[in-house]
Amino acid sequence: MNLTHLTALELGRAITQGDVTIPQATQAALEEIAQRDKSLNSCITVLAEQAMERAETLQKGLKPGLSPLYGVPLLLKDNLCTQGVPTTCGSRLLEGYVPPYDATVVEKVKTAGGVCLGKGNLDEFAMGSTTETSNFGPTRNPWDESRVPGGSSGGCAAAVAAGFAWYALGSDTGGSIRQPAGYCGLTGLKPTYGSVSRYGLVAYASSMDQVGPLCRDAADCAAVLDMIQGKDPRDSTTVDGNYGGLLSSLASDIRGLRVGLPMECFGEGLRPQVAQRVQEVARVLESRGGTVTQVSIPELKLVIPAYYVLASAEASSNLARYDGVKYGFRAKEYGNLTQMYENTRSQGFGKEAKLRILLGTFVLSAGYYEAYYKKALAVQGQVKQGLERAFAICDVLLTPVTPNTAPKLGESLRDPMGMYLSDLYTVPANLAGLPALSMPCGVDGDGLSVGAQLVGPRFGEQVLLNTAHAYQQETDYHRQVPKGGGMG
C-alpha cells in the first residue's frame, strides 16, 4: 500500500482496521518531508519529535467509534495559532512569537485525534497569490518546481499534493484555499462565513477570512468540515446552525441539480484551455442528471477593485497591532516610542504587506473614504444581490478557479497587477460570505492542473460537496499525484 497516496479517510479506515499504525503513517509523512521539502519549501516548522510522540499516544487510545480522521496526520497554515509552537505568518514581524493558546480549529482537530506535522508556508500575513512573499522563501509547486503553488495557503497545498500530509487547514480571504488547491490538483473548500471559528486565526481581513480544508477529494473535505464547523463563543461572528453530518449525508446522486454558468466568468482574459476543462465539468454534471444553464451576474464586473479596497482597509487596521511592544519582533535601534514603532514595522513587514497597509490607509483616509471605501461596500452589496438572484434559479454556480494555470516563480512579482486581477473568480464568494469549492478538472497543454470552482448559497456546503463527489465518481483527476512523490 502506498500510504502517502491514500486519501485522509482511506488512511483513517486503514488505521481503524489495524492495517496501518498511526506512528507508521506519521513516520512515512515525516520521511517524505525530510527527503523532499528542501526543494519544495512547503513547511516553515516541522514537528517531527512532537508528531511521533503524539502518534504513539493516539495509537494507544485507538478504539471503536472515534472520528474518521483519528490518527491522520495534517499540516496547519502558519497563520493559525498553535500553543507552544512558533506561529510566523510568513513574516519577520512575528519572529520569536510562540502563542500561549491554540486556535479553536486547532483544538478541534486535536480533540478529533489529528497529528499535526508542522506549519505550512504562506504569503506574508496571507497577502499574496503565489507564496512568494513569505519571509521564509517561496514554496514550489510539486507538479513543476519551476512554478508557484499558488497562495496564500501555498505551503499547505504543495505539501498535501506532494504527499507530506493527508490534509491541511488553510485560510481563504480572497481565494487563498481554492486557488492553491486549483494550481496543485487538490480539492479545497472555503466555508460559509461564520460557520468556522476565526479565534486564533491571525487576522488579515476579518470580514472575509475563513478557515477551511485542503484535501485530496470532496469526501475528505466533508470529514474535515464536520470536524471544524460550529458556533464558537470566542468568535462572535460564528453563527448557530446544524453542523455535522456532511460526510454521512454525502451523496453522488445529483439528478435535477441546477448548475449555473455565469457568463461573466467565461469572458476576456480566460485561457481557452482552462475554459474548455471547466466546460467539460458541466458536461459531466449533465451526464449525471444535472441541468446546465447560462446565467448573467453583471454585478461581478467590479469585484476586484471592491475586494482590494475592503481587504486592504481591514488589513491596515488589523496590522496596526504589530508595533514591537507585546510580542514578536522589535527593532534594535530607536530613539523614542514613535521610532520604535516605525523601525519595528519597517524592518518587520515585507514589501507586499507594506503596500497593502498603505493602500488601506489611503482608502480610509479623510477625503477618500467616500470615493473608495463606501463605493466598495456598495459593490459588495450589489454582488450579494446578484448572487442571490442567481441562486433563485440555480443550486450551484460553476466557474474556473483562475483564468490561468500556475505561473512560473517570479512572474507574478514582476506583474503584481496581473496577479491581483487573477483573483476575479474567487473573490465574489468572499465578498458575499458564500461557500465555494475548488476541484481539479484536468490539465493544460503543459500538464498543469486546472481547477473548477463550485459556489453555493449560504450554508450550501452539502450541495457543493455532493456535486464535487459526483464529479469525482466519474473522473480520476483528483487521484493523480505528482512524479517523485509517494513511498510505500
Partner 1 sequence: MEETNKPVRELSRLARLSLTPQEEEELAGRLEEMVGYLHALSQVEHGAEVEAPSAVPFRPDQVEPSLDGDKLLNQAPQVRDGYVVTPRSVGEGGAE
Helix (H, G, I), strand (E, B) or coil at 23: helix
Instruction: Give the shortest CB-282-to-partner 1 separation in angstroms.
Output: 30
Instruction: Give the shortest CB-210-to-partner 1 separation in angstroms.
Output: 16
Between 241 and 485, whose beta carbon lies closer to partner 1? 241
The single residue of 42, 134, 176, 195 carrying the catalytic annotation is: 176
CB 451 within 8 A of CB 441: yes
Instruction: Give the shortest CB-113-to-partner 1 separation in angstroms.
Output: 25
Q: How far apart are CA 157 and CA 176, in angstroms?
A: 10
Between 240 and 476, whose beta carbon lies closer to partner 1? 240
The answer to whether 374 is a known catalytic residue is no
Instruction: Give the shortest CB-312-to-partner 1 separation in angstroms.
Output: 9
Give yes or no for a cis peptide into 146 (omega within 30° of 0): no
The answer to whether 63 is a known catalytic residue is no
Q: Where are the beta strands (DSSP E) in 250-349?
A: 258-262, 291-295
Residues that bind partner 1 (CB under 8 A): 96-98, 100-101, 233, 236, 302, 304-306, 308-309, 316, 320, 323-330, 334-343, 345-346, 349, 351, 354-355, 357-359, 361-363, 365, 371-372, 374-382, 416-417, 420
Instruction: Give the shortest CB-336-to-partner 1 separation in angstroms.
Output: 5
Q: How far apart are CA 91 and CA 475, in angstroms?
A: 39
The answer to whether 408 is a known catalytic residue is no
- Sheet bearing 210-215, strands edge to edge: 43-46, 115-120, 73-77, 167-172, 210-215, 187-190, 436-443, 449-455, 396-400, 258-262, 291-295
Among 134, 123, 136, 218, residue whose Cα is nearest residue 173 = 123
Between 242 and 336, whose beta carbon lies closer to partner 1? 336
Between 74 and 304, whose beta carbon lies closer to partner 1? 304
The single residue of 42, 134, 152, 449 carrying the catalytic annotation is: 152
**Joined grid coordinates for residue 314:** 481591514
Residue 480: phi, psi to the nearest 5?
-80, 140
Among 192, 188, 201, residue whose Cα is nearest residue 230 = 192
Between 247 and 357, whose beta carbon lies closer to partner 1? 357
List active site positions.
77, 152, 176
